[in-house]
């Protein structure tokens, strides 16, 4: 996949595609045939500081850690972005989601992993 602006983190996405964060820029979603599906900043009108870790939760929503803004946002397939974590992070660089609704955030500023529980939609 050429023409990325400083690719940083990558995660598989539903239907065989993948998500890539770009340093000081954007997060892009690709199809299984490696074609650009969308840019999160364009699709959602969201400004990233320095997107880092990315993952996709069990509902197909994309989760992005923003190292510069010290936040973690969820980008659902439909609807606007949702800020999952807006305080308590010094340098979030990695994220992972469990099938039980846990969000794991690697905080390089505090040399630890922080665990959050979240639920976007009721079970």
pTM for the structure as a whole:
0.93
Binning pLDDT at 50, 70 and 90, where does residue 24 land? Answer: confident
Averaged pLDDT of the chain:
93
**Residues counted in the chain:** 123
CA atoms in the 13 A half-sphere facing the CB of 123: 4
What is the rounded average pLDDT of the residues 19-46?
A: 95
Instruction: For residues 35 and 53, give the distance between their C-alpha atoms in angstroms, rounded to a whole number.
Output: 21
Has residue 61 been placed in a domain? yes
Instruction: For residues 105 and 114, give the distance between their C-alpha atoms in angstroms, rounded to a whole number.
Output: 5
Has residue 112 been placed in a domain? yes
Instruction: For residues 50 and 43, give the distance between their C-alpha atoms in angstroms, rounded to a whole number.
Output: 18
CATH number reported for the structural domain that contains residue 54 in this entry = 2.120.10.30
Range(s) of the domain holding residue 46: 7-117
Q: Is pLDDT at 15 greater than 90 in this prediction? A: no
Q: Which residues 6+ apart lie within 8 Å of 88 measured at CB?
A: 114
Q: Is pLDDT at 121 greater than 90 in this prediction? A: no
Q: What percent of the chain has pLDDT over 90?
A: 83
């Amino acid at each position: 996949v050429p023409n990325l602006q400083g690719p940083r983190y990558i995660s598989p996405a539903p239907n065989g595609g993948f998500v890539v964060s770009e340093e000081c820029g954007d997060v892009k979603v690709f199809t299984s045939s490696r074609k650009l599906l969308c840019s999160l900043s364009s699709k959602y009108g969201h400004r990233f500081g320095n997107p880092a870790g990315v993952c996709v939760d069990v509902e197909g929503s994309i989760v992005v850690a923003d190292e510069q803004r010290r936040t973690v946002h969820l980008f659902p397939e439909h609807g606007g972005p949702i800020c999952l974590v807006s305080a308590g992070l010094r340098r979030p660089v990695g994220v992972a989601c469990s099938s039980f609704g846990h969000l794991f955030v690697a905080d390089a500023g505090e040399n630890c992993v922080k665990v959050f529980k979240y639920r976007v939609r009721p079970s």
